[in-house]
């Protein structure tokens, strides 16, 4: 494990592996650099790239500092890009992809790849409650971490309530509670893009670098529609749909797609 210091003094922990052009992996809600998917993906990419697999602020071995702002997370990516030599490829998973999009507007990102940013752009699923972020902040501020996790799963991720109840006694629940406060961060990053309205045309129009938007063939309709909407809205994007995959994409199927794109 290594660390870089972000502009506000926060220490950001990362693992570095491989050789070649730098690629930074931006994880999704709940994920840390130690979760199964991210190290697996890093291992598959490392024969081709120098991979930076990091803990987003407030998670794992990274620090945190109040008040939260999306700009601070962009600065964390900037610190990693500087560590990589001043330019890097970036891959973002789910809500981490939206953070990667925000970073690409401001930083020296050479190419960008995203897996299913969780936008809700139409009526194919219920939008988030209007007070979603407020409720999430109140739950985490009062120490009700388990309730915050359940609120996210049912309202944002669309998991049925009767599925969540037995999850609370599962071994992985403790790890989810440990990063529950960062669900507010992901909610802030998403903003109003889960409201059921089309993506604002101008929001990422300045992201003109080559971008790959990847989705799963068996993902829910709203996620597939979000992939299409984003790919159509970016100036220099193409899409790729992975056969038989959903939002929990298999790293061994995702990695070859990323290798091909970033090697072109």
What's the CA gap between 233 and 199, in Å, rounded?
Answer: 8
What's the CA gap between 214 and 140, in Å, rounded?
Answer: 32
The closest of 12, 176, 26 to 115, measured between CA atoms, is 26
20: left (phi over 0), alpha (psi -120 to 50) or beta: left
What's the CA gap between 183 and 96, in Å, rounded?
Answer: 12
What is the 8-class DSSP label of residue 244? T
What's the CA gap between 22 and 66, in Å, rounded?
Answer: 30
Largest CA distance in the chain: 49
pLDDT of residue 201: 82
Where do the DSSP E strands lie in the chain?
Answer: 2-5, 11-18, 22-26, 50-54, 88-93, 109-115, 211-216, 237-242
> pLDDT tens digits, the chain, 264 residues: what are they?
999 999 999 999 999 999 999 999 999 999 999 999 999 999 999 999 999 999 999 999 999 999 999 999 999 999 999 999 999 999 999 999 999 999 999 999 999 999 999 999 999 999 999 999 999 999 999 999 999 999 999 999 999 999 999 999 999 999 999 999 999 999 999 999 999 999 998 899 999 999 999 999 999 999 999 999 999 999 999 999 999 999 999 999 999 999 999 998
User: Is 242 exposed, middle or buried (CB count within 10 Å of its CB: 0-12, 13-18, 19+)?
Assistant: buried
- Residue 12 · residue 55 · CB < 8 Å: yes
- Residue 198 · residue 121 · CB < 8 Å: yes
């Amino acid at each position: 494990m290594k660390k870089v210091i972000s502009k506000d003094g926060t220490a950001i922990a990362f693992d570095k592996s491989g050789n070649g052009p730098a690629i930074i992996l931006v994880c999704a809600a709940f994920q840390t650099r130690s979760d199964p998917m991210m190290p697996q993906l890093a291992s598959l990419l490392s024969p081709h790239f120098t991979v930076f697999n990091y803990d987003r602020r407030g998670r794992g071995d990274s620090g945190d500092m109040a008040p939260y702002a999306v700009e601070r997370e962009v600065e964390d990516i900037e610190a990693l890009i500087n560590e990589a030599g001043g330019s890097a490829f970036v891959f973002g998973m789910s809500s981490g992809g939206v953070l990667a999009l925000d970073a690409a507007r401001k930083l020296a990102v050479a190419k960008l790849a995203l897996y299913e940013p969780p936008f809700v752009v139409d009526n194919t699923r219920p939008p988030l409650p209007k007070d979603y972020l407020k409720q999430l902040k109140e739950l985490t501020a009062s120490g009700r971490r388990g309730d915050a996790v359940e609120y996210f799963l049912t309202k944002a991720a669309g998991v049925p309530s009767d599925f969540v109840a037995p999850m609370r006694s599962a071994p992985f629940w403790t790890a989810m509670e440990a990063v529950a406060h960062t669900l507010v961060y992901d909610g802030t990053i998403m903003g109003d893009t889960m409201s059921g309205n089309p993506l604002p045309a101008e929001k990422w129009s300045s992201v003109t670098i080559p971008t790959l938007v990847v989705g799963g063939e068996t993902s829910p309709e709203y996620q597939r529609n979000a992939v299409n909407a984003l790919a159509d809205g970016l100036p220099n994007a193409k899409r790729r749909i992975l056969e038989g995959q959903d939002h929990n994409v298999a790293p061994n199927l995702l990695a070859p797609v990323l290798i091909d794109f970033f090697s072109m």
